[in-house]
Amino acid sequence: MHCLKSVDNGVEIHVKVIPGASRDRIAGLLGDALKVHVAAPPEKGKANRAVEALLAKAMGVPERDVIVTSGQTSPHKVVMVTGVTPHKACRDLNLA
């Protein structure tokens, strides 16, 4: 998957975030990114925290293991998930 990159102790996921959506959901691939809708507004990091929580729940990992590492104020973000293999991430996010 182009949206996933294997890194030491986990994966990086390239994400396109749509804040202010009607509900939180993973919408699938959009080009080389995972499209994610979150209900939280794009202010004071609320949407970033919602993305972290949604991905943590989808992959069955603690929220502390999912961190937006770049793009904090952009709709295009990179999210680091520790303790997850690319295979597990693809399976959990229905990308396989």
| pLDDT at residue 51, as a whole number | 98
Q: How many domains does the chain have?
A: 1
Q: List the CATH number of the domain containing 50.
A: 3.30.1200.10
pLDDT at 96 over 80: no
How is the chain split among helix, strand and coil, in percent rounded to 5?
25, 40, 40
pLDDT at 85 over 60: yes
Whole-model pTM: value is 0.95
Write down the mean pLDDT value for the chain.
95
Torsion sign across C-alpha atoms 71, 82, 28, 3 = positive
Q: Look at the block and give the residue holding tokens 């229905």.
A: 94
| pLDDT at residue 1, as a whole number | 57
Q: 17 is in which domain, residue-wise?
A: 4-92
| pLDDT at residue 95, as a whole number | 83
